[in-house]
Chain A
């Protein structure tokens, strides 16, 4: 395969950026969900 380093870096960026943002959003949702569940009875059920 020609230009392999260029291709690999592009694909690595193309996977890492959406993955990073997705995991960060998931972590943020879970963190706020835990805090809400600790103080708000409605979110525990």
Chain B
């Protein structure tokens, strides 16, 4: 079958699937402008809300009738746990964007989310352990909730190591993105571990389907601290990603200078 050569210009490539809105923000120059405007407000809100939430939890909330003042650890532990899970969800979303659209900004963001997520997961495990000692009588138990969060921590660590393990960064980013997507399976396991198995860890006190199982005087400071941690987590990731974009620009400029000097 003969194919007739055409003089007409090739048709423009189709727009990326569902990506117009996202691609607009994925432009590094636009990201730098937008993040530069948002970052001070995000960081300011994070510091203010976290200080308010933690101060309120420490001094303004009555002691629990069973746990005494140890319940105040809740105001650090629960927001850290929420950020550990939420951060991984964002990491998985960014990894999906990286695999589908192969956008460098998604790769940079994924590499910067990993260490922050790992730190907040370590904070969740650490404060949980500190809370567990006086309440359960042990620092650690191989409970389904604790074990699945420990797996989440290892997934974060694996991602951190993997994206930095290859001489060719693209290969590391691909491998890290695949690991991040596979690890998403662990998120519902963490969430529902307290329902699926008999665990020492208490079930969720705040659910979408029912009234919270804690008094409002304890709920409000918790929500404030959670909002503060969310803003802080976002501000740290945005700041790290900004630095990574600028570092890449610096590398590019230095490369151009070196080439020009030859």
A residues near B (Cβ < 8 Å) are: 1-4, 6-7, 9-11, 13-15, 17-18, 21-22, 25-26, 28-29, 32-33, 35-36, 39-40
Q: Of A1, A14, A36, which one neighbours B123 at CB under 8 angstroms?
A: A14
Please measure, in the bound complex, the distance between the C-alpha atom of A7 and the C-alpha atom of B73, giving whole angstroms: 6
Known: A18-B232, A29-B243. 11 other contacts (CB 8 A): A2-B70, A6-B131, A6-B133, A10-B72, A10-B127, A11-B54, A14-B123, A17-B120, A22-B43, A28-B239, A39-B254
Q: Contact at B68–A18, with CB atoms within 8 Å?
A: no
For the complex, would chain B's binding face be called helix, strand, loop or mixed by DSSP majority?
Answer: helix
Q: Contact at A4–B69, with CB atoms within 8 Å?
A: yes
Q: Contact at A18–B76, with CB atoms within 8 Å?
A: no
Q: Contact at B243–A7, with CB atoms within 8 Å?
A: no
Contact A14:B76 (CB < 8 A) given known A7-B70, A22-B235: yes
Please measure, in the bound complex, the distance between the C-alpha atom of A40 and the C-alpha atom of B70, giving whole angstroms: 54
Q: How large is the interface on B (under 10, 10 to 19, 20 to 34, 35 or more residues)?
A: 35 or more
Please measure, in the bound complex, the distance between the C-alpha atom of A33 and the C-alpha atom of B77, giving whole angstroms: 35
Q: Of B236, B242, B247, which one neighbours A21 at CB under 8 angstroms?
A: B236
How far does the Cβ of A37 sit from chain B's closest Cβ, in whole Å?
Answer: 10
Give the A-B pair count, Cβ closer than 8 A: 94
Q: Contact at B54–A13, with CB atoms within 8 Å?
A: no
Q: Contact at A29–B239, with CB atoms within 8 Å?
A: yes
Q: Contact at A22–B239, with CB atoms within 8 Å?
A: yes
User: Which of chain A's residues have a CB closer than 8 A to the CB of B115?
Assistant: 21
Q: List 18 A-B contacts (CB under 8 A).
A: A1-B63, A3-B69, A3-B134, A6-B131, A10-B127, A14-B54, A14-B76, A14-B80, A14-B123, A15-B54, A18-B232, A18-B236, A29-B242, A29-B243, A29-B246, A33-B246, A36-B249, A40-B253
Q: Using CB atoms, name the residue of chain A closest to B134.
A: A3
Q: Of A1, A21, A28, which one neighbours B119 at CB under 8 angstroms?
A: A21
User: Which of chain A's residues have a CB closer than 8 A to the CB of B20?
Assistant: none
User: Which of chain B's residues have a CB closer than 8 A to the CB of A1?
Assistant: 63, 69
Please measure, in the bound complex, the distance between the C-alpha atom of A23 and the C-alpha atom of B211, giving whole angstroms: 38
